[in-house]
Structure 1
Amino acid sequence: MRYLAAVLALVLGGVALFVGIAQQTIWAPSQTATATITQSLDKAPVTLIRPDVQAISKEPVDFTITSDNPFVAALGRTGDVDAWVKGSAYNELTGIEKNGKDNSITAAHHDGAASVPAPASSDLWVAQQESQGQMVHQWTVPDDGPWTLLLASKDGKGDAPVNVQVSWADPQETPWAVPLIVIGSILLLIGLGLLGWAISKARAVKSGATSSKTVLKRTRAKVAATSSATAAILAMAVSGAVPANASSTSPSPSESAAQSSGDSKAYPIVMPQQLDTILEKVATAVNDSDKANDDKLLKTRAGGAAQSLREYANSLSRRQYQTEKPAAIQAGPVRSAVVPTDGAFPRKIMVVTQASTNDTPQVLTLQQANARAPYLLMNAVPMIGGAEFPGIAIGDQNVAAISNDADGLVAKPNDAVNALAAQLSVARANRDKFESSTFIDETHSYQDELFKAGKDARFFIKRTADPKITTSFRTPDGGAVVSAYISTTTMVRPRVAGSTVTLDAQTARMAGKSTTKDGLNINSVEPVVLYIPSAEAGGKIRVIGGSVLQYEANIVSRTAPTD
C-alpha cells in the first residue's frame, strides 16, 4: 500500500509537471496574431493601408504583400497620399476586426480612374520600396502624425496588390501552466518521500532496529538530495513560465482612430530625408541638362527664373559663346531650410546648400504645383561674400510662405525687390534702405566703367521684377526671405546722329557687328535673394545673394524708345 501511494504521487506529479511545461513550450499558443482580407474587392490601381491597421499593436507590425506583378510600396503622410490618389480608384484597408484566431482586415473599394502616374516618381514619399512579387514590410513611421502605406503597380497602370496579411505580436497567457508545474513538483516530492519511507520500512523489517536506523538515515539523505534537485527544477520552471512580453498591451482600433482623428498638429511639408532625395533628383536633372544644353531635360526639374536663366545659358552655349554658365546645383548638405507646414498647393520651400567649405553656398527655391507634380527648381542664387542667411531647421512652426504684399516688415516683398531694382540702376536711389553689399557695389562699378567707355553714347538702364516669380517666406524672427528675378535692359544710343558706338567682343557677337551708328539694347537677368527685417525689429534690407547673366544684344533704331 505504501508503494502504491508513492507510485500514484509520482505518476500524477510527472503528468502535471509535463503538462505545465508543455503549455509553455510544445503546446504553447502562438504569440503572433494575423489578419487577412476576407471580403471580395474590385480591381483598382492603388491599395491604401491606413494608420488604424498599423495601430493594432504598439510593436512594429509586419505586412506580407503578395502580387503577380511588380509593385511599389510607398510611405507618405495621409494627407499627401490622399491628394496624390484623388480622382483614381483605390481599395482602402481601414482597420482590423479581432475575432479570436479569425481576425480580418476591414476594407472598402472607391471608384475612380483606372490608372495613376508611376508611383516611384513622386516627391511625396518619405520611403519607398519595389518588389517583384512578394514583400514583407515592417511598418515604422518616421515622425509624428498619421501615415498611410500606398501600394501600386510599378507603372501605375496595373492592378494594385490586395493579397495582404498583417502580423503583430499578440502575447497569449497560459494560466494553468505555473500551477501545474508547482503541483507536479510537489507531488513528485511527496512521491519520492513516500517511496523512500516505504523502502526504509521494508529494510527495517529485514535488518532489525540498528540496520533500520542506518537505512533510515541514508534514505533521509537521499530524499534531501532529491528534494534539493527537484526544488532547483521547480525554480527553473517557474522563472521561465512568464513570457517577457506578456505585460505588453495593444490599443484598440477605436482608440487609435480617436488618436489619429484628433490630431490637429501641423507638420512640415517635407521630411529631412525626403528633402535630400528631392534635391538629389533636381540637381541631377538640372546639371545633366547644363552639360548637354538640353532644354527638354531642364523642364523636368526647373521652372520660373531657373528655367529662364538656364535656357538663355544653353542657347549661348549651343552657339559657342564663351560665357560662364550658371553654377552647378549643389544637392547638399543642407545648411538651412525654410520648410512651411501648410500643406496647400502649390507648395514652396527654400534651402541653402553647400557641398563643401570651398564652394559658394546656394539659395535654392523649389515649388510643387500639385500632388502629382514634381518639385521644380524655381530660382538658384549664389550667396554673396559676407552675407548671412537665417539658420532655420525643418519643422519650425514659425516658418510660412507669405504674400509678396505681406505687412509687418520694413518693406513689403514686392516693394523691396522694386527698390533694389531702382538702387542697382541709380546709385543714389533707395540708398538708405539697403545694407552695404558687394553685389550692389560691383553692379555700380560695372555700369560706371560702361558709361566711361561709351563717351559717344548715352545709356539708359531699365530693371523690372516679375512679381509672379517672386517668392517670399516668413522667418522665425518675424522677418522674411525673398527670392526674385530682375530683368535688365541696357539701352545704348549714339549721342548725335552719325556717332559710332564700339561694342565689346561678346556684345558684338550677339549683335552681329562690332560697331554701330544705330541704337543697341543689351538684355540680362539678375536672380537675387533678400532678407527683409520685421517692422518691429527695424533695420535695413540685406542682399543675401545675386548673379548676372547677359544673354542678348540687339541693334535697334537710334531713336528707339528708352522708357
Structure 2
Amino acid sequence: MRFVLAIVAFVVAAVMIVAGIAQRTVFAPPSQLTATANVSGDARYVVIAGSALNAHTGQQTLSVTGAEDPAAQVVAIGRTDDVTAWLGTEKYVAVGYDSTTGSLTTRMVTPKADSGSTSTPSPGATAGATEGTSSSAAGPNPTGSDLWLEEYDGQDAQVTRMNIPDGVSVLVASDGTKPAPSTITVTWPVDSSTPWAFPLIIGGLVLLVIGIALYLWGLYTHRRSRGPRRKSGPKMPKLPKAPKYKPTSEVETTPRGRRSTRRARVIAPAVLVGALTLSGAGATFADETPTPTPTPTPTSTTTAVPKPANQLPPAVTVPQLERIIKRISVSAANADAKADPNLAKQRFTGAALQLREANYAIRAKKADQPALPAIPSDPIVLSLPQATDSWPRTVVAVIEMPKDAEGKDQAPQALTLVQDSPRDNYMVEYAISLEPKAKVPNLAPASIGAAAVRPDSKLLALPPNQVAAAYGDVLMNGDQSKYASLFSADGDTLRTAVGAEWKAQQKAAVPATASLTFTSAVGPNPDVAMATNDSGALVWVDLQETQQLKVVEAGAEVNAGPTAAALGVASSKTGVETTFGYQLAFYVPPAGSDAKITLLGFAQGMIGAKEIQ
C-alpha cells in the first residue's frame, strides 16, 4: 500500500511541478496589449481621444514614428476642449478605439468655420486610411504653447509614457508645415502574474518528498518482513473426544465453539453500535434547536459627492503654471539683460510692458537708474487660476524673491497673467511687489480656481472699475478725500511716498518762476478682479499720475530732472509734463463689510515726459 501511495504522490508531484513551470513559460500570458493606427496622406495634426487611451487600464505608452523631421515632432497633452479650441478650423485626424476589433480607428475631422472648434469624434469611427489635409497655408505650431498640460518635443516625443484621464486628449504634430508622424502605437500593460505557479511548484516538491518518504518506508517494511522464521515441532496427539451433551428442551441451548464465539462477538458490537446510533440520533434530535436567521447588519456606504454641473475647470494646473513661470522668467531675463523692448513684448503687455519699456529707455541714458525687479522662476508661493473654459483667461501667481546683493530680503513678486486666445501665450499684465504688511485673504485652492468678478460689480465695497479713480483721489487729497474712509492707511507705503503731504512739499519747493500741479487719471489698461472666499475680490488697476511743471514768468526756464531728460526732455522755457504709471493691487471687501480696501502691493515709475507747448 505504501508503494501505491508513493507512486500516486510521484505522479501528482510531477503534474503540479510541470503545471507550475508551464504557467511561467509556455502558458504565460502576454505582458502588454498593443494597438496601431496608420495615418495616410499629409495630415498635419492627429488627436488621440482620452477614451481611446483609456480603453484598457494601466499606464499608456505612446509611440509615434514616420515623421519627415523627427526633431520637429511634438506630442502635446491638453484638455480635449482646449485642444480643439487651439486647432480652430484646422483639419485633423481623430484617433479612437474599437473595442470589438481591439484596434485604433482614424477619422478625418473638418471643424466648422463658424464655431472655430469641434469635439473629438467618438471612437466608433471606421478604421482605415484617411485622406490628406495638406494645403498651401502653414498651420500653427503647437511647440511651446502655454495651453498644454504636458509637452514632449523631438526625440522625447518618440516614446511617451502617460496616464491620461477622461476629458484629456493628446495632440501629435510637427511644426505645422510638415505632416504629423504617420504611425501611432498605443501600448497598455497587462497583468501577467501567475499566482498559482509558485504554489504548484512548491506543493509538487512537497509531494515529491512525501512520495520518496513513503517509498523508503515501504521498502524498509518489506525487507523486515522477509527475515528467517522458526519451524514448528512435532504435532501433539489428538485428545479423545468427550461425549456430547444433549440438552433437554427445557434448557436454553448456548452455542459453543469458535464459530459461536465469533458470532457472539459480531452480534454484540453490532447491537452496541445500533444502540449508540439510535441514542445518538435521539440526542441529536432532542438537542437540535432551530437556528434563528441572523438579522442583516446595515453597512454604511460612502457615496462620492458629485461635482456641480456648472463647475468650471481651472485655467491652468500647478505644474503647468510652474512651466509657464519658468518660460516667463527666461524671457524677462533676456529682455532685461539687453534692455530690448521687442524681447519684452514676447511676455509682457499692458501696464507691465509700458513700465518696462520706459525703464529700458531711461537706463540707456542714465546709468545709475535701477532696473525693475527680475521675475524669478520659483518658488511659487501662491497660485490662483481663473475657473473658466473660455477666453481670455487670467492667472495670478506670487513668487518668492531671493535675497538681494546685500543679503536683505526682497518683497515677493505678484504677477497677473492673461491669455487672450487659445493660441496666445500667457502675458504679464501686472507685475508688482507686495507690501511688507500685506495680508492676502483666503483664496480658492489652485485645483478649483476662482471666478472672475465683473468690473461693475455692486457686490463689493467699491466696484473694481472705480477703485483706481478713488485711490487716485486719496493720493491727491489725503484724509480730505471723500474716499479716504474706504481705504486703509495702515501699511500703505505708497501713500506715504507720493501722497498729499509729499505733493505739498514738492509744490513748496518750486521757485516763483514756475508752478507745479498734479492730476490723476485711470490708465488705459483693463482692470482685473478675482473673487476671494469671503465674497470679496483681489483687484488690479492701472493708475496714471501727471505732473505739470509750467513756466509762469517770461524768460524763465525749468529743469525737468535726469529721469525726464533720459526720456527726451531735459529743460524747457514753457514747461515739462511727466507721467508716472502705478500698477496697484488691492483687496476689496464685500459690500456691507466693516473691512476697508487694502493696498496689497504696487509698482511705479516714470513712463513718459514731454514739453508743454
Alignment partners' CA distance in 2, 1:127 and 1:420: 42
Question: Contact 2:50/2:166 (CA < 8 Å) preserved in 1?
Answer: no
Residues 326-345 of structure 1 mapped to structure 2, 5 A cutoff = 326-345=372-391
Question: Contact 1:94/1:106 (CA < 8 Å) preserved in 2?
Answer: yes
For residue 394 of structure 2, what is the aligned residue in structure 1? 348
For residue 415 of structure 1, what is the aligned residue in structure 2? 466
For residue 323 of structure 1, what is the aligned residue in structure 2? 369
Amino acid at match of 1:531: Y
RMSD: 3.7
For residue 392 of structure 1, what is the aligned residue in structure 2? 443
SS of 1:120's partner is coil
Residues 66-465 of structure 1 mapped to structure 2, 5 A cutoff = 66-68=65-67, 69-70=70-71, 71-95=73-97, 97=99, 103-111=102-110, 114=134, 116-132=139-155, 135-140=158-163, 146-153=167-174, 157-171=178-192, 193=214, 197=218, 201=222, 203=223, 207-208=227-228, 265-320=311-366, 322-356=368-402, 358-390=409-441, 392=443, 394-395=445-446, 397=448, 399-427=450-478, 428-429=480-481, 430-436=483-489, 437-444=492-499, 445-456=501-512, 457-465=514-522
Alignment partners' CA distance in 2, 1:465 and 1:524: 12
SS of 1:301's partner is coil
Q: Which moved more, 1:288-297 or 1:115-124?
A: 115-124
Alignment partners' CA distance in 2, 1:512 and 1:55: 65
User: Once the 2 structures are TM-superposed, how far is the Cα of residue 413 of structure 1 from its aligned partner?
Assistant: 0.6
Amino acid at match of 2:95: L
Q: Which moved more, 1:361-370 or 1:36-45?
A: 36-45
Question: Contact 1:336/1:390 (CA < 8 Å) preserved in 2?
Answer: no
Alignment partners' CA distance in 2, 1:449 and 1:538: 33
Question: Contact 1:41/1:109 (CA < 8 Å) preserved in 2?
Answer: no
Change (3 A) 1:383 1:133: closer
Where does the alignment leave 5 or more consecutive residues of structure 2 unmatched? 112-132, 231-305, 404-408
User: Once the 2 structures are TM-superposed, how far is the Cα of residue 348 of structure 1 from its aligned partner?
Assistant: 0.8
User: Once the 2 structures are TM-superposed, how far is the Cα of residue 78 of structure 1 from its aligned partner?
Assistant: 2.5
Alignment partners' CA distance in 2, 1:98 and 1:262: 34
Question: Contact 1:302/1:377 (CA < 8 Å) preserved in 2?
Answer: yes
For residue 34 of structure 1, what is the aligned residue in structure 2? 33
Change (3 A) 1:170 1:509: closer
Change (3 A) 1:521 1:28: same
Change (3 A) 1:449 1:440: same
Instruction: Count residues with an aligned counterpart.
Output: 500
Query: What is the TM-score normalised by the length of structure 1?
Result: 0.77
User: Once the 2 structures are TM-superposed, how far is the Cα of residue 36 of structure 1 from its aligned partner?
Assistant: 1.5
Q: Which moved more, 1:432-441 or 1:11-20?
A: 11-20
Question: Contact 1:20/1:181 (CA < 8 Å) preserved in 2?
Answer: no
User: Once the 2 structures are TM-superposed, how far is the Cα of residue 452 of structure 1 from its aligned partner?
Assistant: 1.0
Change (3 A) 1:7 1:556: closer
Alignment partners' CA distance in 2, 1:155 and 1:318: 39
Question: Contact 2:16/2:200 (CA < 8 Å) preserved in 1?
Answer: no
Larger radius of gyration: 2
Query: What is the TM-score normalised by the length of structure 2?
Result: 0.71
SS of 2:398's partner is strand
User: Once the 2 structures are TM-superposed, how far is the Cα of residue 16 of structure 1 from its aligned partner?
Assistant: 2.3
Is 1:487 the counterpart of 2:544? The answer is yes
Question: Contact 1:32/1:168 (CA < 8 Å) preserved in 2?
Answer: yes
Question: Contact 2:62/2:160 (CA < 8 Å) preserved in 1?
Answer: yes
For residue 472 of structure 1, what is the aligned residue in structure 2? 529
Amino acid at match of 1:121: G
For residue 55 of structure 1, what is the aligned residue in structure 2? 54
Alignment partners' CA distance in 2, 1:108 and 1:556: 66
Alignment partners' CA distance in 2, 1:405 and 1:126: 33
SS of 2:34's partner is strand
Alignment partners' CA distance in 2, 1:2 and 1:479: 89
For residue 537 of structure 1, what is the aligned residue in structure 2? 593
Question: Contact 2:6/2:212 (CA < 8 Å) preserved in 1?
Answer: yes
Amino acid at match of 2:141: A
Question: Contact 2:401/2:413 (CA < 8 Å) preserved in 1?
Answer: no
Alignment partners' CA distance in 2, 1:510 and 1:175: 83
SS of 2:437's partner is coil
Alignment partners' CA distance in 2, 1:470 and 1:408: 16
Alignment partners' CA distance in 2, 1:334 and 1:138: 27
Alignment partners' CA distance in 2, 1:154 and 1:272: 27
User: Once the 2 structures are TM-superposed, how far is the Cα of residue 408 of structure 1 from its aligned partner?
Assistant: 0.7
User: Once the 2 structures are TM-superposed, how far is the Cα of residue 312 of structure 1 from its aligned partner?
Assistant: 1.6
Amino acid at match of 2:586: L
Amino acid at match of 2:470: A
Alignment partners' CA distance in 1, 2:386 and 2:577: 41
User: Once the 2 structures are TM-superposed, how far is the Cα of residue 390 of structure 1 from its aligned partner?
Assistant: 2.9
User: Once the 2 structures are TM-superposed, how far is the Cα of residue 440 of structure 1 from its aligned partner?
Assistant: 1.3
SS of 2:358's partner is helix
Change (3 A) 1:337 1:538: farther
Deviations 1:312-361 (A, max 9, x none): 22222334464333222233322222211212111111222222361112
Alignment partners' CA distance in 2, 1:539 and 1:467: 29
Amino acid at match of 2:320: Q
SS of 2:321's partner is helix
Alignment partners' CA distance in 2, 1:37 and 1:6: 55
User: Once the 2 structures are TM-superposed, how far is the Cα of residue 298 of structure 1 from its aligned partner?
Assistant: 1.0
Alignment partners' CA distance in 2, 1:532 and 1:470: 13
Change (3 A) 1:508 1:341: closer
Alignment partners' CA distance in 2, 1:293 and 1:468: 23
Alignment partners' CA distance in 2, 1:176 and 1:439: 76
User: Once the 2 structures are TM-superposed, how far is the Cα of residue 465 of structure 1 from its aligned partner?
Assistant: 1.4
SS of 1:291's partner is helix
